[in-house]
Amino acid sequence: MRLLYFLTFFILSISVYAQRNGSIGGKITSSDGTPAEFVNVALKGSAKGATVDKRGRYVISGVVPGSYTVVASFVGLETQEQTVEVVAGQQTIIDFILKENSAQLQEIVISGSRDNYKVDEPSSSLRITTPLLETPQNIQVVTKDVLRDQQVISMSDGVIRNVSGAYRSEHWADLYTNIVARGSQMQAFRNGFNAVNSYWGPLTEDMAFVDHIEFVKGPAGFMLSNGEPSGLYNVVTKKPTGRSAGEVAFTVGSFDLYRTSLDLDGRLSKDGRILYRLNLAAQNRKSHRANEYNDRYVIAPVISYQLDDKTKLTAEYTYQRANMSNVGSFYVFDTQGFATLPVNFTMLPTGLPGSTINDHSAFINLQHDINEKWKLTAQVARFNYYALGSSAWPNSISPDGKIIRGISSWEANAKMTMGQVFLNGEFNTGAIKHRVLGGLDMANKQYIADWGQSHALDTVGGEFDIHNPNNGVPNNGYPQFDFSTPLEQRAFAIGANIDQRYAAGYLQDELGFFENKLRLTLAGRYTYVKQAYGPSPIGDNHFTPRVGLSASITPSTSVYALYDQAFTPQNGIKANGEAIQPLTGNNLELGFKRDWLDGKWNTTVSLYRILKNNEAVADPTAPPSSGIVAEIGQKQSQGIEFDLRGTILPGLTLTANYALTESKVTKTTGVQPNIQVGDIVPGFARHTANAWANYTLQNGVVKGFGVSGGFTLLSGRETYWDVSPDPSKTLPTYFKLDGGVYWSNNKIRIAANVYNILDDYLYSGSYYSWLNAYYTQTDPPRNVRLSVNYRF
């Protein structure tokens, strides 16, 4: 802390000599008065500039007093210029009115924003207003253009190939995404709200209502109240834009994939104050394994109301319904090792009832511009998830591969009510610029589930034989579970209830020195959490500081350093009667960011080290049913990450990344003899590398035609649950090659992609000591997807 005080005093002492600067701001509208988003505003002959936001506003800060020419430009629009005189300590207002109306501008935006693989600003739901280049943290954004080009249709459908170090060790088909990065599971957010209610969740988002996804690496003091220190991903949903537009898409593919989606965007009032967005989707989909299916349906309406020039209210509702085959059917077991059975092998019998999931979420967001410098945001969210079905897991497996297949009940209900209010603002104290963020978070999360009923599909002497499989009606019949008793009673009887309530307050100030070329972030968050797994609630509170330093070496190059903390309350009692301590974690991170070719593409390099303390595990000296837990000491994850994204050359877009990850036990308490210092923490890949490139022909009769391709490489994969007793049985290097062709113009896009071009046997898996067996989850063999999109 003394070092922090000294650093702050040193910078403050020097900055008094810095010259006071001014700023330029204003509003850009179309000829019919609609805010003109995405327009670029720059100072002629300078690298300084800004991009117009959704309200049509822009601000260029840190401008040395003097005379300038302000240029407003956008692809397909006539460039406009105005001369301005900047005065020290003042903001000069310059507005522009474009000749095009909003309908004409919509056509230009559709045509001009293709292949946008790079963004410069975070979404408002991420709360911070600092440009990504200046933010002292590794934040990667997967844009809607990337999702379109790769024909991604759900959150678990290859999104993570676009982010360094992201990995799914447990696939769970298209039910849960469960992304691991930096040695532990990332928290799942939607529109700035933590959507995690239990380890298994939330239901993976369908891309029909998703605009883009933001990946925030490491603890995020400005977002997380409590959670894993590896970071989070924030799914940002589509919002009304005020432009009358629509798009319909049809997709067909291997394994009986049939999908259609509709996106409508427009006005409900002539003055443009009431806008709407409606997204619909329906999908039927089977699998490369027999008897599996995954049908999805989506309804997602959004309405926004501009109450006045300063206040906007947005209401949003999303309904997802999933009709799926039995949960767990994608696991295949064998005592002999990994991938010993055909890639399409299944243990799922014909006729076993499936599972249904109804997932509701609603958001209400109020944004009020207090003035040009200060903005207040208040929002609430309600999530309601209900699932009814069953899950599969073997009761036993013999060395010769004969299995008694077990089916357990699966009824789950999750309810979450969350609220946030936060304030963003800017002000100057002398030559120091301040970007301030402060706010409150509150949440009430409840989860109950019944998996306590079980049924054996097979009998002793009539086992399922993996070497001579019979997937017909099982000899012990199908399960008949009793769901008549209230779910709450069944959940409490087996301890399958989670009740969590938290409240947090936070304050962050980013101090800018030397014309904002050097930025010091000082922040803190206080969180109180009360939660229970079973009948005994436990409360924890914690203060987590955050210190970041970012410096602009040039207008397009920055370096940063970050120290941040996170914590997660844990439940359980130690053998001596003491309550378990909360899990705490901290992150040290260094990074380098650079925009290339006038910001058309960007690279980020980050180095990090994360420590996790006091993680709870079952006490081996007590019976498993006792609930007695122990602390294992400390785990450390460290590594290096590289990300590249953007337009490299005219027509050529590229996303590429690489990560080296190491996760090991660094301290033990001695109560777990099977865990030693230096042991590898399972569930990650030591090396991950991905790339995806698109090249579109720019001229001639073949204009609009293009080719795309990419790969995923995973090396040094660590199995998830237990270490194999046979050191020779490990997960091999994973390499997947994909590619496609497409053609598009202003109205139509036709694309065909081929996945797993090499038709390799691709899988994940682990050893499971309770069964003395290995399990494998296979990826599909070579498969194709064809889509047709029409804009109107």
**Residue 570 pLDDT:** 66
**Residue 372 pLDDT:** 86
- 6 domain residue, yes or no: no
Of 104 and 658, more confident? 658
Q: How far is CA 24 from the centre of its chain?
A: 34
- 3-state SS class at 688: strand
CATH code of the domain in which 179 resides: 2.170.130.10
Same domain (yes/no): 633, 690: yes
**Residue 569 pLDDT:** 67
**Residue 3 pLDDT:** 41
**Residue 164 pLDDT:** 97
**Residue 59 pLDDT:** 85
* Whether the predicted pLDDT of 109 surpasses 50: no
Please give the residue range of the domain that contains residue 172.
124-237
Rounded Cα distance, 542 and 224, in Å: 12
- 7 domain residue, yes or no: no
Closest to 778 measured CA to CA, from 393, 159, 340, 202: 340
Of 746 and 311, more confident? 311
What pTM was estimated for this model as a whole?
0.86
What is the DSSP code string of 468-487? S---SS-TT--------S-H
Residue partners of 616: CB distance under 8 A and separation at least 6: 570, 571, 572, 580, 583, 629, 630, 631
* Whether the predicted pLDDT of 621 surpasses 80: no
What is the mean predicted confidence (pLDDT) over 315-320? 98
Of 668 and 377, more confident? 377
Same domain (yes/no): 198, 294: no
Angle, vertex CA 119, rays to CA 300 and CA 311, nearest 5: 55
Lowest mean pLDDT segment, chosen from 115-129, 263-277, 624-638: 624-638
Rounded Cα distance, 6 and 26, in Å: 38
Count structural domains, the chain: 3
Closest to 161 measured CA to CA, from 689, 718, 726, 722: 689
Residue ending a domain, among 190, 221, 237, is: 237
- 540 domain residue, yes or no: yes
Strands 231-237 and 180-181 come out as unpaired
Q: How far is CA 140 from the centre of its chain?
A: 10
Q: CB-based burial of residue 11 (10 Å sphere; 0-12 exposed, 13-18 middle, 19+ buried)?
A: middle
Same domain (yes/no): 301, 352: yes
Rounded Cα distance, 369 and 243, in Å: 22
What is the mean predicted confidence (pLDDT) over 343-352? 95
- 3-state SS class at 156: coil
Strands 231-237 and 616-618 come out as unpaired
- pLDDT band of 288, cuts 50, 70, 90: very high
- 89 domain residue, yes or no: yes
- 2 domain residue, yes or no: no
**Residue 20 pLDDT:** 59
What is the mean predicted confidence (pLDDT) over 347-369? 95
Same domain (yes/no): 693, 671: yes
Same domain (yes/no): 251, 221: no
Same domain (yes/no): 541, 404: yes
- pLDDT band of 610, cuts 50, 70, 90: very high
> Side by side, which strands form the sheet with 187-190?
139-142, 210-217, 231-237, 187-190, 193-194
pLDDT in tens, 4-46: 444 444 344 434 333 457 889 888 887 767 777 778 788 887 7
- 119 domain residue, yes or no: no
Rounded Cα distance, 317 and 238, in Å: 11
* Whether the predicted pLDDT of 78 surpasses 90: no
CB of 786 within 8 A of CB of 252? yes
- pLDDT band of 98, cuts 50, 70, 90: confident
Rounded Cα distance, 511 and 12, in Å: 10
What is the DSSP code string of 161-212? GGSTT-B-SS--TTTB---EETTEEPEEEETTEE--SSSS--BPPBGGGEEE
What is the mean predicted confidence (pLDDT) over 730-744? 96
Rounded Cα distance, 288 and 511, in Å: 55
- pLDDT band of 255, cuts 50, 70, 90: very high
* Whether the predicted pLDDT of 170 surpasses 80: no
Same domain (yes/no): 539, 445: yes
Rounded Cα distance, 605 and 378, in Å: 34
CB of 56 within 8 A of CB of 36? yes
**Residue 110 pLDDT:** 39
Lowest mean pLDDT segment, chosen from 155-159, 162-166, 290-294, 295-299: 155-159
Q: Check the CA dihedral 270-274-277-278 and report its sign.
A: negative
**Residue 16 pLDDT:** 39
What is the DSSP code string of 588-637? EEEEEEEEETTTTEEEEEEEEEEEEE--EEE-TTS-GGG-BEEE--EEEE
pLDDT in tens, 35-77: 777 787 888 877 677 778 767 888 887 788 888 889 887 755 6
| pLDDT mean across residues, the chain | 87
**Residue 572 pLDDT:** 60
CATH code of the domain in which 479 resides: 2.40.170.20
**Residue 101 pLDDT:** 52
pLDDT in tens, 478-523: 999 999 999 999 988 887 788 889 999 999 999 999 999 999 999 9
Q: Strands (DSSP E) along 268-401, which ranges? A: 274-284, 294-306, 311-324, 332-334, 355-369, 374-397
Same domain (yes/no): 347, 415: yes
What is the mean predicted confidence (pLDDT) over 690-716? 95
Same domain (yes/no): 163, 254: no
Residue ending a domain, among 83, 112, 141, is: 112
Host H or E run for residue 146: helix 144-149
**Residue 56 pLDDT:** 82
CB of 655 within 8 A of CB of 213? no
- pLDDT band of 571, cuts 50, 70, 90: low
Lowest mean pLDDT segment, chosen from 77-86, 96-105, 425-434, 723-732: 96-105
* Whether the predicted pLDDT of 2 surpasses 50: no
What is the mean predicted confidence (pLDDT) over 326-354? 93
Angle, vertex CA 206, rays to CA 200 and CA 209, nearest 5: 130
* Whether the predicted pLDDT of 152 surpasses 80: yes
Same domain (yes/no): 330, 425: yes
Rounded Cα distance, 202 and 185, in Å: 13
CB of 233 within 8 A of CB of 179? yes
216 pairs with which residues across the strands? 139, 232
Q: Give CA separation, 359 vs 172, 258, 293, 295, 731, in Å.
A: 17, 21, 18, 14, 35
144-181 exposure pattern, b = at least 16 Cβ within 10 A, e = fewer: bbbbbbbbbbbbbbbbbbbbbbbbbbbbbbbbbbbbbb
Q: Give CA separation, 40 vs 23, 72, 73, 391, 642, in Å.
A: 16, 6, 5, 53, 28
- 4 domain residue, yes or no: no
Q: Check the CA dihedral 718-393-289-205 and report its sign.
A: negative
Angle, vertex CA 784, rays to CA 334 and CA 110, nearest 5: 130
Residue ending a domain, among 218, 237, 256, is: 237
Host H or E run for residue 735: strand 734-744
- 1 domain residue, yes or no: no
Q: How many CB atoms lie within 10 A of CB 477?
A: 10
Same domain (yes/no): 175, 305: no
**Residue 116 pLDDT:** 81
773 pairs with which residues across the strands? 768
Same domain (yes/no): 280, 382: yes
Cis peptide before 202 (omega within 30 of 0): yes
Rounded Cα distance, 767 and 540, in Å: 35
Q: Which residue matches tokens 């940002």?
A: 236
Instruction: Return the half-sphere exposure (C-beta side, CA atoms, 13 A cut-off) of residue 702.
Output: 9
438-474 exposure pattern, b = at least 16 Cβ within 10 A, e = fewer: bbebbbebbbbbbbebebbbbeeeebbebeebebeeb
**Residue 564 pLDDT:** 92
Of 113 and 24, more confident? 24
CB of 43 within 8 A of CB of 68? yes
- pLDDT band of 191, cuts 50, 70, 90: very high
